[in-house]
């Protein structure tokens, strides 16, 4: 359960991570593979986890995993889809705090000075190899 009072995510749900067998993600942004994975915070403050399905190994942003599992039910397109944090808090990865936007919307917001910081980094996908 999320401790932020304004957050709509009061009930935690679990979904499989699309494209990654054996991985599960909760609606408040915890990623599991048997055990919960330890999130790694990058320099800009976004949380990532390591995903490995035997064929692909990437360091993926948790906000992308949550939207992929709960909103889209498929993997996000790294070229065209980015994810916004509605409240601007970079490690608040509850599903209702996240919004998938196209790069067109993203660029429009960027152009209009809307939360510049968070855009370039959420776009850096499919993830750095590790
Ligand atoms: Zn929350």
- Whole-model pTM: value is 0.71
For the domain spanning 14-122, the CATH number is: 3.90.75.20
Closest alpha carbon to 69 in 101, 37, 26: 26
**pLDDT for 51-104, tens place per residue?**
998 889 999 999 999 999 999 999 999 889 999 999 999 999 999 999 998 877
Q: What is the pLDDT of residue 114?
A: 54
In the reported structure, the alpha carbon of residue 113 is separated from the centroid of ligand 1 by a whole-number distance in angstroms of 25
In the reported structure, the alpha carbon of residue 99 is separated from the centroid of ligand 1 by a whole-number distance in angstroms of 13
In the reported structure, the alpha carbon of residue 67 is separated from the centroid of ligand 1 by a whole-number distance in angstroms of 14
In the reported structure, the alpha carbon of residue 96 is separated from the centroid of ligand 1 by a whole-number distance in angstroms of 7
In the reported structure, the alpha carbon of residue 93 is separated from the centroid of ligand 1 by a whole-number distance in angstroms of 7
Beta strands across the sheet bearing 31-33:
14-16, 24-26, 31-33, 35-36
Give the helix/strand (H/E) hosting 82: strand 81-85
Q: What is the pLDDT of residue 84?
A: 93
In the reported structure, the alpha carbon of residue 25 is separated from the centroid of ligand 1 by a whole-number distance in angstroms of 14
Domain ranges of the chain: 14-122
């Amino acid at each position: 359960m999320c401790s932020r009072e304004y957050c709509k995510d009061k009930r935690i749900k679990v979904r499989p991570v699309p494209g990654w067998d054996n991985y599960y993600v909760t609606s408040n942004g915890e990623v599991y593979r048997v055990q919960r994975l330890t999130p790694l915070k990058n320099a800009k403050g976004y949380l990532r986890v390591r995903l490995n399905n035997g064929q692909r190994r990437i360091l993926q942003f948790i906000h992308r995993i949550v939207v992929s599992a709960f909103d889209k039910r498929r993997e996000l397109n790294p070229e065209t889809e980015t994810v916004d944090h509605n409240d601007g808090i970079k490690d608040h990865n509850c599903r209702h705090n996240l919004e998938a936007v196209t790069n067109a919307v993203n660029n429009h917001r960027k152009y209009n000075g809307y939360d510049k910081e968070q855009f370039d980094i959420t776009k850096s996908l499919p993830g750095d190899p590790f």
